[in-house]
């Protein structure tokens, strides 16, 4: 397994070199969005409307962060289960999104889009929400404030620790890990 330091926006070359199990330290701007926000983003695309952020090279973190304590940009920010975004992710990937951060395996439709367009799915460590929040240096709501914790936020991250869970070449740690440790 390799280790990489990447900065957003991500290019197709950045993503295609990554392999399942690689460690990534991600810096730059990422966005938060969960299922309600994903639905709205896809509806905006379908209507031909401009999105609140540029999808090209973007990374979306599936999180509904806790309120920020005094002096901090954000509260605990642990990943949420990703399959709830599976209906929307292929459309966003086809429009330029390069990365997703969450927990749990992705559906075949997402994997197909990742392979076709060059995108990657990163796993953030569940249960480490306070630790993850230390990598978030700035947080600003940029769309759908009425969704409260699920609003779209622009985050500036520094050395956000991630693992490549599913890569653009069809690698899948959820399948490979089970096979590796299976006892027949």
The C-alpha atoms of residue 150 and residue 25 are separated, in whole angstroms, by: 24
Tens digit of pLDDT for each residue in 100-142? 999 999 999 999 999 999 999 999 876 667 778 889 999 999 9
φ, ψ for residue 26, nearest 5 deg: -100, 135
Taking alpha carbons only, the member of 89, 90, 94, 73 closest to residue 34 is: 89
Please tell me the predicted confidence (pLDDT) of residue 56: 98
Please tell me the predicted confidence (pLDDT) of residue 67: 86
Give how many domains the chain has, as a whole number. 1
φ, ψ for residue 100, nearest 5 deg: -135, 145
Q: Identify whether the C-beta of residue 6 lies closer than 8 Å to the C-beta of residue 25.
A: yes
Residues in CB range of 181: below 8 A, 6 or more apart: none
Please tell me the predicted confidence (pLDDT) of residue 65: 87
Is 38 annotated as catalytic? yes
In this predicted structure, the answer to whether residue 1 has a pLDDT above a threshold of 70 is yes
The C-alpha atoms of residue 20 and residue 120 are separated, in whole angstroms, by: 9
Please tell me the predicted confidence (pLDDT) of residue 127: 65
CATH number at residue 106: 3.20.130.10
Q: Domain of 86? A: 3-181
**What's the whole-model pTM score?**
0.93
Q: Which residue of the set 34, 38, 98, 106 is catalytic?
A: 38
| Average pLDDT of the segment spanning 41-54 | 97
The C-alpha atoms of residue 129 and residue 155 are separated, in whole angstroms, by: 15
Please tell me the predicted confidence (pLDDT) of residue 94: 98
Question: At 4, which helix (H) or strand (E)?
Answer: strand 3-7
């Amino acid at each position: 397994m390799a280790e990489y330091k990447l900065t957003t926006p991500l290019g197709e070359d950045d993503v295609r070199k990554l392999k399942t199990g690689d460690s990534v330290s991600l810096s730059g701007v990422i966005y938060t969005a969960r299922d309600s926000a994903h639905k709205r983003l896809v509806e905006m695309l379908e209507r031909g409307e401009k999105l609140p952020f540029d999808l090209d090279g973007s990374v979306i973190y599936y999180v509904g962060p806790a309120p920020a304590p005094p002096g901090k940009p954000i509260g605990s920010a642990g990943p949420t289960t990703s399959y709830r975004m599976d209906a929307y992710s292929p459309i966003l990937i086809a429009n330029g999104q390069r990365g997703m951060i969450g927990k749990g395996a992705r559906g075949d439709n997402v994997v197909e889009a990742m392979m076709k367009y060059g995108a990657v799915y990163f796993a953030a460590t569940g249960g480490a929400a306070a630790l993850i929040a230390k990598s978030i240096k700035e947080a600003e709501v940029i769309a759908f404030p009425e969704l409260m914790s699920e609003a779209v936020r622009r985050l500036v991250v520094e050395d956000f620790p991630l693992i490549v869970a599913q890569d653009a070449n069809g690698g899948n740690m959820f399948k490979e890990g089970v096979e590796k440790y299976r006892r027949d």
